[in-house]
């Protein structure tokens, strides 16, 4: 058994998220990072993308999710990303971070979650 952590960090997305009037009126920038803890049968696998979890797929799906609807909460958005990641049986744990950097002039606000597959 071999474990690897695959990361997608700093994905900047314009999306509709939030509950305040300004957030409801227009998209805002959200920065997403995802850490996938993956298990493979062995550390010896072919040097081909099909042998590992594809972060291109994850990036594409997160972008589609952000375009799909308005999210009131970062927590809800993070949960949806975690579900995407855990759909691959090789991912046993996922950490998702979202950050709204432009809400306040002096601070960013965000959410981090960690989810594990049952039986870890």
Q: Give the contacts of 61 (CB within 8 A, at least 6 positions apart).
A: 84
Q: Are 66 and 11 in contact (CB under 8 A)?
A: no
Q: Tell me the per-residue pLDDT of 34-90, one tens digit each, with 9 for 90 and over.
A: 999 999 988 888 888 888 999 999 999 999 999 999 999 999 999 999 999 999 999
Query: What pLDDT was estimated at residue 120?
Result: 66
Residue range 17-27: mean pLDDT, rounded:
95
Q: What is the DSSP string of 76-111?
A: HHHHHHHHHHHTSTTEEEEEEEEEETTSSSS--EEE
Q: The pTM is what? A: 0.94
Residue range 16-28: mean pLDDT, rounded:
95
């Amino acid at each position: 058994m071999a474990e690897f952590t695959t990361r997608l960090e700093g994905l900047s997305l314009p999306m509709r998220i939030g509950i305040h009037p300004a957030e409801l009126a227009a998209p805002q920038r959200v920065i997403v990072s995802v850490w996938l803890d993956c298990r493979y049968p062995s550390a010896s696998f072919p040097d081909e993308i099909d042998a590992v979890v594809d972060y291109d797929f994850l990036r594409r799906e997160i972008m589609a999710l952000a375009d799909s609807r308005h999210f009131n909460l970062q927590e809800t958005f993070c949960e949806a990303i975690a579900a995407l990641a855990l759909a691959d049986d090789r991912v046993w744990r996922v950490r998702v971070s979202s950050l709204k950097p432009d809400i306040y002039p002096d601070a960013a606000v965000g959410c981090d979650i960690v989810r594990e597959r049952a039986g870890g």
